[in-house]
Amino acid sequence: MPAQVKIFDTTLRDGEQTPGVNLNIQEKLEIARQLARMRVDVIEAGFAIASPGDFEAVKAIAENVKGVTVASLCRAVEKDIDRAWEAVRYAERPRIHTFIATSDIHMQYKLKMSEEEVFQRAVGMVKYAKKFCEDVEFSAEDASRSKPEFLYRILEGVIKAGATVVNIPDTVGYSTPEEFGRLIRNIRENVDGIHKVEISVHCHNDLGMATANTLSALLNGAVQLECTVNGLGERAGNAALEEIIMAIGTRKDFFGIGHNIDTTQIYRTSKLVSSLTGVNVQPNKAVVGANAFAHESGIHQHGVMSEKSTYEIMTPESIGLGQNRMVLGKLSGRHAFEEKLKELGYSLAPEEIQKAFEKFKDLADKKKVVLDRDIEALVGEKVSQVPEIFQLDSFQISSGNKVVSTSMVSLVRNGETITEAATGDGPVDAAFNALERAVGFSMELEDYRLGAVTEGKDALGEVTVRVTKDGNSFVGRGVSTDVIEASVKAYMNAINRAISELGENIIGKS
């Protein structure tokens, strides 16, 4: 094994391919900055040729996020590679990541190409990418279901062509830890020139073995581990960054390998990604789930109170889930608030700090003590903002168990106030109907989630909605101590996001 493993984070590429997730450039930049703060080695910023938005996001990350390698995925096609290079060329450490499938089933049914055609394409496109970029990664898609002899041959070919990293994906999560580890070991033993490159792995979680397969590969010579925050990704997702890193760190006695990750940024990163993608972390999720450090059993509670290590193999502090060291309330000043933001790992511009401070003071008037999670929610709401084509002026709700729920909303657009009213099946539905009447178009509500940010009757309510408009999916988010207001803010956020991305011509069209 190597002395130190590299972490390749693909949250912004494979993670964004999670059904229903659609991040804008500002949100991707915020996540990328946090990944850099957590000290990942490589950020796969997107698939540059996929859309103009993807290209601009990859380019923005390459230009603005320092201290990491920035990669763009591209098919083994010249136009893909051209676009990828155009996006990453201004990064401190740019990388082109090209791929082609190597399994019989993919070559026959998807590519409709022979082994020789795939071999020539792979080698040719690695050579083409090397004209632009010194750092070129090649992935053999569906490697775990490929014929070993062909896999060895194509890896030898791309290494001779100049690849610096060869990636072995378990693309459909088919492999098991023992056989995947054996595959990596056999590649090391049978591929000429393998010592010249880094071996990477990319495991999916279709059978729930992504993290186990990744760690097995590490034990057998993989140097780079590809993963996502919270295990996001296609279908059942990818190997989870937090699980891999905390396994390596907690079991130093077994793995005996180092990494660059600042583990105290793990919880903060998990919360940020969950908030911006609208994908909640399951309570029993390893490392970052709400129950990961919770103890309900009397026997467990007694053990933890006597000695934490009886039931906690890692500390909450090690992932950045510590206790408040400074209590903030309505009498707290801007300086204390700024210090708390720095302590939580935020780096905001002065005008962003001012806006967040104003929201904090409003919340402090309603809530006796403002906790770290409240501040994270307020700042997360700022990151989720899009241009406010419509601004919420006011809303009123009339509801009860024996009356029809009615809502009246007033919105402002270009200085003009628009007021509409509507009924619905409950106060939230009525408010959403009134908002749609005010903007003049409707959306399909796919998902609505309400959660308390902290404990207590005065806790912030956090609402996430997922809507569709003309086949496009949008996530909206809102926070408030009033759950109806949080719901209205979330739906307004989704409305403005839809207008921002689809154009103002949808206004007035139902």
The rounded distance, in Å, linking the Cα atoms of 346 and 338 is: 9
DSSP, residue by residue, 89-111:
TTSSEEEEEEEEE-SHHHIIIII
**Residue 468's beta-bridge partner residues?**
444, 473
Confidence of residue 235 (pLDDT cuts 50, 70, 90): very high
pLDDT at 297 over 60: no
Collect all residues with Cβ–Cβ distance below 8 Å to 479 and sequence separation of at least 6: 377, 378, 380, 381, 453, 460, 461, 462, 463, 486, 489
Confidence of residue 322 (pLDDT cuts 50, 70, 90): low
The rounded distance, in Å, linking the Cα atoms of 73 and 10 is: 10
- In 3D, which of 406, 403, 402 has the Cα closest to residue 421? 406
Of 293 and 28, more confident: 28
Domain boundaries, the chain: 6-277, 292-319, 323-383, 391-506
pLDDT score, position 301:
53
pLDDT at 126 over 70: yes
- In 3D, which of 137, 101, 103, 104 has the Cα closest to residue 121? 101
∠185-14-124 over CA atoms, to 5°? 65
Q: Any idea how long the chain is?
A: 510
Helical (H) or strand (E) element with 412: strand 403-413
pLDDT score, position 302:
58
Topology of domain 391-506 in CATH is Double Stranded RNA Binding Domain (3.30.160)
Confidence of residue 460 (pLDDT cuts 50, 70, 90): confident
The rounded distance, in Å, linking the Cα atoms of 332 and 360 is: 10
- 3-state SS of 50-61 is CCHHHHHHHHHH
The answer to whether the beta carbons of residues 359 and 336 sit under 8 Å apart is no
pLDDT score, position 325:
45
- In 3D, which of 327, 325, 231 has the Cα closest to residue 285? 231
Confidence of residue 324 (pLDDT cuts 50, 70, 90): very low
For domain 6-277, give the CATH superfamily.
Aldolase class I (3.20.20.70)
pLDDT, mean over the chain:
91
Residue pLDDT, tens place only, 403-430:
999 999 999 999 999 999 999 999 999 9
pLDDT score, position 383:
57
**Residue 198's beta-bridge partner residues?**
165
- In 3D, which of 232, 199, 229, 231 has the Cα closest to residue 212? 231
**3-state secondary structure at position 46:** strand
The rounded distance, in Å, linking the Cα atoms of 47 and 475 is: 21
Flag the least confident range among 365-379, 426-440, 465-479, 496-510.
365-379
DSSP-derived secondary structure letter, 109: I
